[in-house]
Amino acid sequence: MAFEPKEPQKELKYNELRIYSDEELNNYTEEELKNFKIKHDIPMLEDLEKGPWPSFVADAKREALRRRKLPDDRMMIHREVVEDMLGQLELSFEHGETHWKHGGIVGVFGYGGGVIGRYSDLPEKFPSIAHFHTMRVNQPASKFYHTDYLRTLCDLWEFRGSGMMNFHGSTGDIIFLGTFTEQLEPIFFELGHVLQQDLGGSGSNLRSPSCCLGKARCEWACIDTQDMCYELTHHYQDELHRPQFPYKFKFKFDGCPNGCVASIARADMSFIGTWRDEIRIDQEAVQAYIGGEITPNGGAHRGRDWGKFDI
Ligand code: HEM
Ligand code: HEM
Ligand code: SF4
Beta bridge partners of 254: 272
Whether 51 and 146 share a structural domain:
yes
Bond from prior residue into 168 cis (ω within 30 degrees of 0): yes
Whether 129 and 259 share a structural domain:
no
How much is the pLDDT for 5?
Answer: 85
Nearest to residue 76, comparing CAs of 155, 134, 148, 23?
Answer: 155
How much is the pLDDT for 52?
Answer: 87
CA 134, CA 180: separation in Å to the nearest integer? 9
> Ligand 2 center to residue 258 CA distance, Å?
31
Q: Nearest ligand, CA of residue 205? A: 1
How much is the pLDDT for 1?
Answer: 59
Q: Does residue 8 sit within a domain?
A: no
Is 236 buried (19+), middle (13-18) or exposed (0-12) by CB count in 10 A? middle
Give the 3-state secondary structure of residue 245: coil
CATH number at residue 56: 3.30.70.2500
Question: Which residue, judged by its Cα, is nearest atom 2 of ligand 1?
Answer: 177
Query: CA 117, 118, 121 angle in degrees (round to 5)?
Result: 140
Do residues 60 and 85 touch, judged by C-beta distance below 8 A?
yes
Question: Which residue, judged by its Cα, is nearest atom 8 of ligand 1?
Answer: 169
CATH number at residue 241: 3.30.413.10
Domain that holds residue 73: 14-194
How much is the pLDDT for 309?
Answer: 77
CA 59, CA 76: separation in Å to the nearest integer? 21
Whether 179 and 99 share a structural domain:
yes
Whether 167 and 217 share a structural domain:
no
Give the 3-state secondary structure of residue 241: helix
Decide whether any atom of ligand 3 lies within 6 Å of the 191 Cβ.
Answer: no
Q: Nearest ligand, CA of residue 133? A: 1
Query: CA torsion 217→220→224→228, rounded to 10°?
Result: -100
Count up the domains in the chain and report the number: 2
> Ligand 1 center to residue 139 CA distance, Å?
17
Nearest to residue 161, comparing CAs of 189, 125, 119, 133?
Answer: 133
pLDDT tens-place values along the chain, 311 residues long: 567 888 898 999 999 999 999 999 999 999 999 999 999 999 999 999 998 889 999 999 999 999 999 999 999 999 999 999 999 999 999 999 999 987 678 999 999 999 999 999 999 999 999 999 999 999 999 999 999 999 999 999 999 999 999 999 999 999 999 999 999 999 999 999 999 999 999 999 999 999 999 999 999 999 999 999 999 999 999 999 999 999 999 999 999 999 999 999 999 999 999 999 998 999 999 999 999 899 888 888 878 888 887 77
> Ligand 3 center to residue 256 CA distance, Å?
5
Whether 186 and 223 share a structural domain:
no
DSSP codes, 181-216: GGGHHHHHHIIIIIS---B---SSSBPPPEE--GGG
Domain's final residue, options 194, 229, 264: 194
Beta bridge partners of 269: 251
CB half-sphere exposure, 265, CA atoms < 13 A: 8
CB half-sphere exposure, 102, CA atoms < 13 A: 3
Whether 178 and 214 share a structural domain:
no
Domain's final residue, options 194, 218, 251: 194
Question: Which residue, judged by its Cα, is nearest atom 3 of ligand 1?
Answer: 177
Whether 254 and 277 share a structural domain:
yes
Q: Spell 168-183 as b/e; 16+ CB within 10 A means b.
A: bbebbbbbbbbbbeeb
Where residue 194 falls (left for φ over 0; alpha for ψ -120 to 50; beta otherwise) is: alpha
Q: Does residue 178 sit within a domain?
A: yes
Domain's final residue, options 163, 194, 225: 194
Whether 154 and 279 share a structural domain:
no
Q: Nearest ligand, CA of residue 118? A: 1
Sequence-distant (6+) residues with CB within 8 A of 22 are none
Whether 133 and 167 share a structural domain:
yes
| Interface predicted TM-score (ipTM) | 0.66
Strand 210-211 relative to strand 174-177, pairing: unpaired
297 DSSP 8-state letter: G
